[in-house]
């Protein structure tokens, strides 16, 4: 079976790089985008199986990317995990309202992120 492709949109280089390696250790292929616009264009060009979006990003924030994915009939089935280090009280509600499938804080154990990815990929045909 081909490796699942994960699009990670993250502007903090240290987080992006280390998360990429951890995901690769767990058998995923990882594509990185470092800003919102790049992230959205890679949804189209790289055809990922799942997207992990940081919230505060330059050019276009994670919520906007999520909204654009979920409003587009070609991409709305792409599972989206919001990945935030800033835990704003209303973030989860907002993310769910925009159609995000999961919300996870960056400080959660890497295993938690992996298990959420696995769960979502199992659900999508």
Chain positions contacting another protein, by CB under 8 A: 12, 14-15, 18-19, 21-22, 25, 85-90, 92-93, 96, 105-107, 109-110
Query: Of 45 and 109, which has the nearer Cβ to another protein?
Result: 109
Q: How far is the CB of 4 from another protein (least distance, A)?
A: 19
Query: Of 77 and 96, which has the nearer Cβ to another protein?
Result: 96
Residue 39 near residue 14, CB atoms below 8 Å: no
Characterise 47 by phi-psi region: left (phi > 0), alpha (psi -120 to 50), beta (else): left
The strand order across the sheet containing 50-54 reads 29-33, 5-9, 50-54, 80-84, 102-105
**What is the C-alpha separation between 125 and 109, in angstroms, rounded?**
27
Residue 7 near residue 31, CB atoms below 8 Å: yes
Q: How far is the CB of 26 from another protein (least distance, A)?
A: 10
Q: How far is the CB of 123 from another protein (least distance, A)?
A: 15
Query: Of 43 and 91, which has the nearer Cβ to another protein?
Result: 91
Query: Of 44 and 99, which has the nearer Cβ to another protein?
Result: 99
């Amino acid at each position: 079976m081909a490796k699942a492709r994960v699009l990670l949109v993250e502007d903090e280089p240290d987080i992006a790089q280390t998360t990429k390696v951890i995901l690769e250790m767990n058998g995923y292929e990882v594509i990185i985008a470092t800003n919102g616009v790049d992230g959205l264009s890679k949804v189209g060009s790289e055809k990922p199986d799942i997207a992990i979006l940081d919230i505060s990003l330059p050019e276009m924030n994670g919520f906007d990317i999520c909204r654009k994915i979920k409003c587009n009939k070609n991409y709305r089935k792409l599972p989206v995990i919001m990945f935030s280090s800033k835990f704003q009280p209303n973030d989860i509600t907002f993310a769910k309202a925009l159609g995000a499938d999961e919300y996870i804080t960056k400080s959660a154990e890497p295993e938690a992120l992996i298990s959420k990815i696995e769960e979502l990929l199992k659900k999508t045909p």
